[in-house]
């Protein structure tokens, strides 16, 4: 998730921008840049990698006097993390930074290229600055040109634009991506979140979607679809650590709440009206492929396991799943008609990386699903799809799992489209369910309060069993993993139909069973499995749209005709349960003992 900073005023601008970008590092980035206009002088610096590279490049530069300035940390989505793709993007006399995705950029780019515009980068963002300059060349009016530009953009954005055609203003717009404006007398700041301006600004205004305008002479001129509007500021927080968590107690909690929003990013430009479009893939990748092998560790392995059901059911392609650390030493028989998919949040997991290298040595084509562009796994793969979850700080993975699962679901449909194994009716149903997913991920206060209340009953006992069938079995595994990682209580995920083949011997009142009982998939089957456990007196927490009278505790979910919507809703519930149990036990939620965020050792 990119970060944006902007400053209009008399103070030295380079340090304000670089310090601000430093505070946005937590959002994740792979390149950074700044642009400053003052005294008719325009300066622009960009660097790939850490901010220290940008600091090094700018060390001999200091801005002087009044000016306007913008900066950006980029998390690559369209195009590799190179200097040319880093923001600010440049036209002939203007610069722009942008967070979000312009969905119709290809259309706009084609139109501009047809008019002779030369593009330097592969990004969607560059279209904004060229479009602005085209409009300005026609109207000779910067404000009008900016408004016309916005009217052409589809998708999500927070954007800042500065131009030599109006050296005293910063133009801004927000639609779907975060941006706020900070005030300190006549100095004006823009940022993606509070932290970069804490200690600098004293008052803040959080822009709403659909708002846009410009900053000039120490004032903000704010507009929405109805015209110019009044706004009032509020006092800015003073605690930076708290501000990074956006008011949540833990990063993990923030990341659970963020899932609805990041899912929009994951789907943007990919879930179209009538198909799935994965522009990063070339259909050649699937040529002569007759089966799929997916290899991953931990949570990423669980998303792989749920995808195996989707690949076989929807894409009609055989799909095997491998735990990377096992795969490496089993002397696997690898065939060149297998597409080798790796899944990794960090892109650096040693076992997964080594498994990928083995598959490549055996001549297999490879595809990675990853959250970090330019990571080792992405670089090693023939193709990759980024999950666009933004940086995940909580060691226990939440939004990374959600977005991996969504990418795999999209991929299953994409393969089905290519193989023509999906009817147009089914395709329409799948696309519709995908569009509804962000809603299924919304955490409402009542639900969270209920999980907090319930958690006090689940702090002891001799173990937890999370059970489910079909895609809800991997979700049960993931629910159990979340709980053990941050509560240190023993938990297992199990296929509910397997309980009678052994684990049922453990059943007694001290065995906590969390049953995932979706209505849209095998409800009667799982119900019988759960009844068998209730007859042995387990303590049961049922998660289902359907009330279940044998349950000791019951969390009601929404009746949904699509299993994936039930999947995502239940996923949030299990995440909240783990979180609240961990909080009650007084554990370190974000940094649980013995665990690391990136496991680069075997
Ligand atoms: C659990 C968790 C781990 C990771 C595993 C693989 O919450 O985060 O189980 O999923 O270490 O890591 P990546 O996905 O980075 O390859």
pLDDT, tens digit, for every residue of 277-328? Answer: 998 999 899 999 999 999 999 999 999 999 999 999 999 999 999 999 999 8
Residue 127 near residue 109, CB atoms below 8 Å: yes
Decide if 599 is inside a domain. no
* Closest-lying ligand 1 atom to the alpha carbon of residue 404: 14
Place 453 in a pLDDT band, splitting at 50, 70 and 90.
Answer: very high
Residue 352 Cβ inside 6 Å of ligand 1? The answer reads yes
* DSSP codes, 259-295: HHHHHHHHHTTTB-SSSB--TT--GGGGTT--EEEEE
pLDDT computed for residue 41 by the predictor: 83
Residue 127 Cβ inside 6 Å of ligand 1? The answer reads no
The SS3 of residue 27 is helix
Same domain, 55 and 123: yes
Question: Which residues are known catalytic residues?
Answer: 2, 597
Task: Mark which of 420, 441, 462 sits at the end of a domain.
Answer: 441
Distance of CA 342 from the midpoint of ligand 1 (Å): 12
The number of distinct structural domains making up the chain is 3
Place 162 in a pLDDT band, splitting at 50, 70 and 90.
Answer: very high
Q: Which residue of 343, 345, 393, 403 sits with most ligand 1 atoms within 8 Å of its CB, as the best mutation to test the pocket?
A: 345
* DSSP codes, 539-597: EEEEEESS--TT-SEEEE----SSHHHHHHHHHHHHHHHHHHHHHHTT--SSS-TT--S
* DSSP codes, 77-103: SSS-S-TTTSSSEE-SSEEEEEEEEET
Residue 1 has pLDDT above 70, yes or no: no
Distance of CA 525 from the midpoint of ligand 1 (Å): 31
Q: Which residue of 252, 299, 368 sits with most ligand 1 atoms within 8 Å of its CB, as the best mutation to test the pocket?
A: 299
Contacts of 243 (CB under 8 A, 6+ apart): 193, 194, 195, 198, 237
Residue 396 Cβ inside 6 Å of ligand 1? The answer reads yes
Same domain, 43 and 116: yes
Distance CA 352, CA 341 (A): 10
Decide if 150 is inside a domain. yes
Residue 232 has pLDDT above 80, yes or no: yes
Decide if 601 is inside a domain. no
Distance of CA 294 from the midpoint of ligand 1 (Å): 15
Residue 429 has pLDDT above 70, yes or no: yes
Residue 384 Cβ inside 6 Å of ligand 1? The answer reads no
Residue 583 Cβ inside 6 Å of ligand 1? The answer reads no
Closest by CA to 6, choosing from 76, 87, 92, is 87
Q: Which residue of 255, 294, 300 sits with most ligand 1 atoms within 8 Å of its CB, as the best mutation to test the pocket?
A: 300
Distance of CA 370 from the midpoint of ligand 1 (Å): 11
44-48, 199-203, 389-393, 449-453: segment of lowest average pLDDT: 389-393
Bigger pLDDT: 356 vs 461: 356
Same domain, 449 and 407: no
Distance of CA 322 from the midpoint of ligand 1 (Å): 14
Residues in the chain: 602
Distance of CA 125 from the midpoint of ligand 1 (Å): 32
10 Å CB burial of residue 547 (0-12, 13-18, 19+) is exposed
Distance CA 277, CA 298 (A): 28
19-23, 253-257, 396-400: segment of lowest average pLDDT: 19-23
Distance of CA 304 from the midpoint of ligand 1 (Å): 12
Same domain, 150 and 256: no
Residue range of the domain that includes 570: 443-591
Bigger pLDDT: 370 vs 65: 370
Decide if 597 is inside a domain. no
Residue 349 Cβ inside 6 Å of ligand 1? The answer reads yes
Decide if 362 is inside a domain. yes
Q: Using CA positions, which residue lies closest to atom 8 of ligand 1?
A: 397
Cα distances (Å, whole numbers) of residue 193 to 22, 178, 219, 344, 451: 12, 7, 20, 27, 29
Residue 376 Cβ inside 6 Å of ligand 1? The answer reads no
Task: Mark which of 210, 238, 266 sits at the end of a domain.
Answer: 238
Residue 404 Cβ inside 6 Å of ligand 1? The answer reads no
Same domain, 433 and 467: no
Residue 391 has pLDDT above 90, yes or no: no
* Closest-lying ligand 1 atom to the alpha carbon of residue 301: 10
pLDDT computed for residue 183 by the predictor: 97
pLDDT, tens digit, for every residue of 544-595? Answer: 999 999 999 999 999 999 999 999 999 999 999 999 999 999 999 998 888 7
Distance CA 592, CA 596 (A): 8
Residue 599 Cβ inside 6 Å of ligand 1? The answer reads yes
Distance CA 207, CA 421 (A): 45
* Closest-lying ligand 1 atom to the alpha carbon of residue 597: 8
pLDDT, tens digit, for every residue of 38-72? Answer: 988 889 999 998 899 999 999 999 988 899 999 99
10 Å CB burial of residue 361 (0-12, 13-18, 19+) is exposed
Place 134 in a pLDDT band, splitting at 50, 70 and 90.
Answer: very high
10 Å CB burial of residue 471 (0-12, 13-18, 19+) is buried
* Closest-lying ligand 1 atom to the alpha carbon of residue 349: 16
25-29, 98-102, 174-178, 250-254: segment of lowest average pLDDT: 25-29
Q: Which residue of 252, 349, 589, 596 sits with most ligand 1 atoms within 8 Å of its CB, as the best mutation to test the pocket?
A: 349
Same domain, 454 and 419: no
Distance of CA 298 from the midpoint of ligand 1 (Å): 5
Q: Using CA positions, which residue lies closest to atom 3 of ligand 1?
A: 298
* Mean local confidence (pLDDT), 516-525: 96
Q: Using CA positions, which residue lies closest to atom 9 of ligand 1?
A: 298
Distance of CA 345 from the midpoint of ligand 1 (Å): 7
Same domain, 389 and 505: no
Looking at the chain, the whole-number percentage of residues with pLDDT higher than 90 is 81
Residue 570 near residue 517, CB atoms below 8 Å: no
Neighbours of 232 (CB within 10 A): 6
Q: What is the largest CA-CA distance in the chain?
A: 81
Same domain, 72 and 214: yes
Task: Mark which of 419, 441, 463 sits at the end of a domain.
Answer: 441
Residue 595 near residue 488, CB atoms below 8 Å: no
Distance CA 414, CA 285 (A): 12
Say which CATH number the domain at 166 has: 3.60.20.10
Same domain, 201 and 311: no
Residue 575 Cβ inside 6 Å of ligand 1? The answer reads no
Residue 344 Cβ inside 6 Å of ligand 1? The answer reads yes
Place 234 in a pLDDT band, splitting at 50, 70 and 90.
Answer: very high
Bigger pLDDT: 178 vs 565: 565
Same domain, 433 and 484: no
pTM, to two decimals: 0.78
* Mean local confidence (pLDDT), 384-402: 93
Same domain, 159 and 293: no
Say which CATH number the domain at 506 has: 3.40.50.10490
* Closest-lying ligand 1 atom to the alpha carbon of residue 296: 16
Decide if 571 is inside a domain. yes
**Which value, in Å, is the radius of gyration of the alpha carbons in the chain?**
25
Decide if 259 is inside a domain. yes
Distance of CA 165 from the midpoint of ligand 1 (Å): 49
Residue 599 has pLDDT above 80, yes or no: no
Same domain, 93 and 195: yes
Residue 582 Cβ inside 6 Å of ligand 1? The answer reads no
Residue 297 Cβ inside 6 Å of ligand 1? The answer reads yes
Residue 300 Cβ inside 6 Å of ligand 1? The answer reads yes
- The rounded mean pLDDT for the chain is 93
Q: Using CA positions, which residue lies closest to atom 11 of ligand 1?
A: 298
Distance CA 311, CA 320 (A): 10
10 Å CB burial of residue 466 (0-12, 13-18, 19+) is buried
Decide if 551 is inside a domain. yes
């Amino acid at each position: 998730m990119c970060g944006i900073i902007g400053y209009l005023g008399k103070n030295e601008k380079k340090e304000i921008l670089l310090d601000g970008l430093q505070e946005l590092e937590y959002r994740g980035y792979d390149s950074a840049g700044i642009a400053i206009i003052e005294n008719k002088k325009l300066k622009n610096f960009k660097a790939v990698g850490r901010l220290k590279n940008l600091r090094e490049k700018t060390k001999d530069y200091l801005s002087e006097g009044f000016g306007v300035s913008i900066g950006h940390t980029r998390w690559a989505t369209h195009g590799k993390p190179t200097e040319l793709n880093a923001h600010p993007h440049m036209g002939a006399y203007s610069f722009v930074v942008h967070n979000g995705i312009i969905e119709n950029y290809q259309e706009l780019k084609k139109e501009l290229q047809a008019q002779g515009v030369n593009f330097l980068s592969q990004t969607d963002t560059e279209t904004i600055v060229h479009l602005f300059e085209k409009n300005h060349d026609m109207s000779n009016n910067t404000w009008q040109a900016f408004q016309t530009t916005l009217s052409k953009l589809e998708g999500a954005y927070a954007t800042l634009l500065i131009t030599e055609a109006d050296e005293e203003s910063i133009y801004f717009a927000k639609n779907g991506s975060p941006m706020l404006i900070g005030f300190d007398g006549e100095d004006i700041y823009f940022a993606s979140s509070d932290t970069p301006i804490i200690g600098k600004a004293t008052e803040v205004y959080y822009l709403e979607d659909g708002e846009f305008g410009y900053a000039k002479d120490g004032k903000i001129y704010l507009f929405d679809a109805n015209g110019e509007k009044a706004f009032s500021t509020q006092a800015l927080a003073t605690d930076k650590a708290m501000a990074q968590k956006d008011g949540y107690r833990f990063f993990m909690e923030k990341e659970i709440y963020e899932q609805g929003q990041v899912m929009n990013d994951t789907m943007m430009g990919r879930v179209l009206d009538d198909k799935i479009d994965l522009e990063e893939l070339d259909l050649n990748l699937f040529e002569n492929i007759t089966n799929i092998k997916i290899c991953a560790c931990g949570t990423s392995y669980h998303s792989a396991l749920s995808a195996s059901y989707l690949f076989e059911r929807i894409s009609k392609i055989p799909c095997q799943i491998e735990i990377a650390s096992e795969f490496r030493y089993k002397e696997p028989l690898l065939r060149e008609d297998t597409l080798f998919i790796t899944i990794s949040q960090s892109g650096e997991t040693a076992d997964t990386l080594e498994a990928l290298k083995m598959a490549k040595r055996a001549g297999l084509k490879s595809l990675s699903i990853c959250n970090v562009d330019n990571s080792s796994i992405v670089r090693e793969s023939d193709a990759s799809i980024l999950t666009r979850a933004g940086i995940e700080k909580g060691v226990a993975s939440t939004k990374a799992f959600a977005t991996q699962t969504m990418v795999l679901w999209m991929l299953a449909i994409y393969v089905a489209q290519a193989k023509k194994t999906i009817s147009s009716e089914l395709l329409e149903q799948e696309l519709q369910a995908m569009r509804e997913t962000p809603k299924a991920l919304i955490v409402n206060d009542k639900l969270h309060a209920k999980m907090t209340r319930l958690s006090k009953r689940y702090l002891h006992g001799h173990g937890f069993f999370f059970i489910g069938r079909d895609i809800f079995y991997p979700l049960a595994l993931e629910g159990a993993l979340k709980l053990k990682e941050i509560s240190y209580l023993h938990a297992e995920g199990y296929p509910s139909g397997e309980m009678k083949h052994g684990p049922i011997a453990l059943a007694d009142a001290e065995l906590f069973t969390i049953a995932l009982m979706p209505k849209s998939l095998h409800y009667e089957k799982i119900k019988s499995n759960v009844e068998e456990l209730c007859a042995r007196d387990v303590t049961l927490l049922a998660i289902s749209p359907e009330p279940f009278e044998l349950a000791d505790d019951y969390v009601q979910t929404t009746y949904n005709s699509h299993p994936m919507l039930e999947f995502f809703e239940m996923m949030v519930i299990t995440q909240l349960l783990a979180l609240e149990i961990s909080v009650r036990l007084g554990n370190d939620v974000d940094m649980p003992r013995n665990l690391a965020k990136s496991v680069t050792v075997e």
